[in-house]
Amino acid sequence: MATRERPRERVSATVTRWLRRTLVVAGLTLVAYLGGVATTQMWPVHTETAYFAAMVSVEPTLDSTVRLPMVVGDVIMTFHGPVPAPGLSADVQVREEVTDLIRSGTLQTAQLQPSQEELRSAINRGVQEVAWKFAAGSMTTSLLVLLMYAVARPHHLGLVVAAAAGATVVALAVPAGAAYLTYRVDRVAEFRATSLLSLVQTNTGLLTDLDRKADQGAVYVTNLLALSDAMRQEFTPSAVDAPVAAKFLLVSDLHGMDQFPLMRQIVASQGIDAVIDTGDLINFGQPSEGDLTDIYDGIQSLGVPYVFVRGNHDAVSATDEALLRRMAQVPNVVLLEPTAGDFRRVDVHGVSISGFNDTRYFNQRSDDFAAEQADTAALFRDATEGLEPTDLVVTHQPYAAHRVQARAFTLNGHMHVPEAVRGHVQIGSLTGGGLVNQFRIPPLTEAAKEAAAEDPETAGELLGHPYSFDVLTVGEDCSVASLTRYSYRNLVVGRPQFDDVSMINGLSLQAREPAAGRTCGPDLGVVTSPLLPPAQDDAAPATAQVP
């Protein structure tokens, strides 16, 4: 019996030995990786352009993100690669001699923006030096660990060197390969600027204004804004340079607040071609709410098509269509489902949009909202079976939106929190959830009292979600060029202030590529038509929609 078990014991011993070696190599690889990261953190790489300098290091994260912290805000670039890549951080500073040149009048701020060639050269130098410094740190760390082991067991010196070399190779090859495949211009998923830097994205004349008014205290602001704009143009070239076929303002969850003066400003300043509203226009399902706050006149005053689907606060029962009938009286409103089961599509400059209403209603009680939303999505799928999906499909509830298909992406609101993933965009609340949310006054905690004592203006801000809206840009090939997300605060107390502007690359959102040969542009106008299966298309001709 013992003799028959020996081969089995030898196999078990072999497996145990290889498992132990694998774990040792994995552990050494992690040690080598952390050693490389620590080396670049302790001795960051210096790279520079004519007017800027940066200290670059590897972050102990695998989030495929490049961060440029600055004194006036941060530039954050997120990439979508096939595998997660190590994060990078670059502490950007204005070179000391630049301040003196600006003060003396020798250098104008218009000259500060580095050229694309200069910027790429500085980036390439920094990346190369980070790579070899990371490699040196990895090898040194793994050797130190294994040499301590070799001192105790000197006859294992050959294995120690081999293990150190193997671990270092793995620790270098994996993150280096991930970085090579991920950190490319065409893989930028999001370009984000915070604080003062976000103003570059909303005010193209800001640098000129600062140039005229620059004094000693504005030197760093002016310089860093120039660098931020150069980085944005380098890493989001398609969004900056590509011809625009259509621009959409995406809003949701107004909840009875008249924010149309703000929307008119956005429409005018951003060149918006149509507004898309995913519902919850009012609070209690009564159309008279909109009359009390002049919502319907506000919609008409925008002067562009207003594409709308009903939300769960826009009706008092599952069959209530009073708000839809009132909205149909506004000349520029386009209802994607004007009555139950009657689905429409609108093509704005060639960009096709369809959608469906929420079947929920104000103050509804249900044991299974998810099943109801699944049924609602199923009705839309059945009605559009055999049709090519439109570029955008709009509805209110996320649970329903995730159960239908669009060529570019589906849109929903309801959650009051913006999100964006491939094939799906969730819009935040333009009004922070409306006055019903805003008048939930936060409790007077000790921290709140201290903050109010330091800055009395903060005492008046009420509780609610962030105010936010999106601007969607579509190119002439009908593909999504970019989604720019704006969030702000202090609207209720009368001091609106931008908190954040994020530009998301359309390549990371588009679910499917546009059909070959498609073109979009203003010459195609705005056309509405029934959304019917192919056999019924000829029976219902399209009609032009004029705001």
pLDDT digits (tens, 9 = 90+) for 386-398: 999 999 999 999 9
pLDDT of the residue at 211: 46
Which one of 97-111, 295-309, 478-492 scores highest in mean pLDDT? 295-309
DSSP of 481-515: EEEEEEEEE-TTTT--EEEEEEEEEGGGT-SSPPP
Q: Which residue has the higher pLDDT, 330 or 128?
A: 330
**Quick count: other Cβ atoms within 10 Å of Cβ 92?**
21
Q: Cα angle vertex 74, ends 69, 80, to 5°?
A: 100
Strands 543-544 and 333-335: unpaired
Q: Supply the Cα-derived Rg of the chain in whole angstroms.
A: 29
> For residue 516, what is the enclosing H or E element?
none
Which amino acid is located at 497 in the chain? Q
CA distances from 358 to 116, 175, 339 (A): 48, 46, 12
Quick: pLDDT tens for 234-258.
666 655 566 899 999 999 999 988 8
pLDDT for residue 441: 44
Residue pair 60/95 in contact by the 8 Å Cβ criterion: no
pLDDT more than 90, % of the chain = 34
**Chain-centroid distance, C-alpha 296:** 31
Q: Which residues contact 98 (CB under 8 A, 6 or more apart)?
A: 51, 107, 112, 219, 223
Q: Which of 239, 235, 238, 237 is nearest to 76 (CA)?
A: 235
112 residue type, one letter: L
Q: How far apart (Å, rounded) are the C-alpha atoms in residues 72 and 499?
A: 13
Q: What is the DSSP letter of 217?
A: G
CA within 13 Å, CB half, 91: 10
pLDDT at residue 181, as a whole number: 84
Q: What is the pLDDT of residue 353?
A: 98
Rank 42-56, 166-180, 297-311, 530-544 by mean pLDDT and report only the highest: 297-311
**Exposure string over 20-30, b if 16+ CB within 10 A, otherwise e:** eeeebeeebbe
- What is the arithmetic mean of pLDDT over 200-214? 47
* Beta strand segments in 333-475, E: 333-335, 344-348, 351-355, 392-394, 409-412, 419-421, 424-426, 467-475
DSSP calls for 83-100? S----EEEEEEE-HHHHH
Of 56, 49, 475, 51, the C-alpha closest to 237 is 475
The confidence score (pLDDT) of residue 332 equals 97
Q: Give CA 2 to chain center in angstroms.
A: 65
Point out the least confidently predicted range of 70-74, 136-140, 505-509.
70-74
- What's the confidence (pLDDT) of residue 409? 97
**How high does pLDDT run on average in the chain?**
79
Query: What pLDDT was estimated at residue 458?
Result: 43
Tens of pLDDT, residues 306-317: 999 999 999 999
Name the residue with higher pLDDT: 71 or 207.
71
In the structure, what pLDDT confidence band is assigned to residue 221 with cuts at 50, 70 and 90?
low
Give 167's contacts (C-beta < 8 A, 6+ positions apart). Answer: 25, 28, 29, 31, 32, 142
Nearest-angstrom CA–CA distance, 371 and 113: 55
| Mean pLDDT on 498-522 | 85
Residue 389 vs residues 90, 267, 345, 406, 514: alpha-carbon distances, Å: 43, 27, 11, 5, 11
Q: Report the SS3 class of residue 429.
A: strand
Residue 268: per-residue pLDDT = 86
| Dist. CA 107–CA 474, nearest whole Å | 38
Range in 172-181, 184-193, 330-339, 370-379 with the lowest mean pLDDT: 184-193
8 A C-beta contact, residue 302 and residue 263: yes
Greater pLDDT, 79 or 13: 79
Q: What is the pLDDT of residues 317-352, one digit of tens each?
A: 999 999 999 999 999 999 999 999 999 999 999 999
The whole-number average pLDDT for the span 174-187 is 80
Kindly report the number of other CB atoms within 10 A of residue 233's CB atom.
16
- What is the rounded CA–CA span in Å between residue 348 and residue 276? 11
